[in-house]
Amino acid sequence: MKSLINVVLIFLSFTAYSQSDTVRSKVYAQCDKLLNAISVDQGVEVDWSVVDKVFIPDAKLTMVGVSNGKSVSYSFGLEQFKAVDTYTKNGFEEKALKRDIWTTPNMAIVKEEFKATVKSTGAIETGVNFYTFIYVAGQWRIKTLAWESFKL
């Protein structure tokens, strides 16, 4: 009987791991799609159709930082984010350095450390993105994204 229980427990642990691993790979693929979409040469337009597919239409984005020695945050919707488009104007490249993920069956939270380069100036920054994904209509999509970057 003990051996049967052990076999069942081992099977369940492999099943849980494989589901978690599948969620991780799908969520990370969405993160990669976003970073690839906003990483463009100066004057090359961001493929906003890709960005639209990664985010939920009512997504909220928040940029956190320091201005004049005080902590500040700016929150906006996806359409406001697209309207500013400093990526096309300046050229931009962002690469994930490290990711951690926490999941439930219908939600995932990702902490992503990144390195970014503004191509027009050569300025390099590091920082962190915090994504909240929800599973909707058979897809993992971003509900919120908050980030803070630090110039090197």
Q: What is the pLDDT of residues 4-16, one digit of tens each?
A: 555 444 444 433 4
**What share of the chain has pLDDT > 70, as a percent?**
87
Whole-prediction pTM: 0.84
Percent of residues in the chain assigned helix, strand, coil, to nearest 5: 35, 50, 15
Q: CA 140 to CA 117: how far, in whole Å?
A: 27
Q: Please give the average per-residue pLDDT across 37-64, as a whole number.
A: 96
Residue 7 in tokens? 């076999």
Q: In this predicted model, what pLDDT tens digit does every residue of 76-125 receive, in sequence order?
A: 999 999 998 899 999 999 999 999 999 999 999 999 999 999 999 999 99
* Average predicted confidence (pLDDT) for the chain: 89
92 three-class SS: strand
**CA distances, 46 to each of 97, 118, 119 (Å):** 22, 14, 14
Residues sharing a CB contact under 8 Å with residue 73, sequence separation 6 or more, in sequence order: 62, 63, 64, 65
> What's the CA angle centered on 54, arms 99 and 73, to 5 degrees?
70
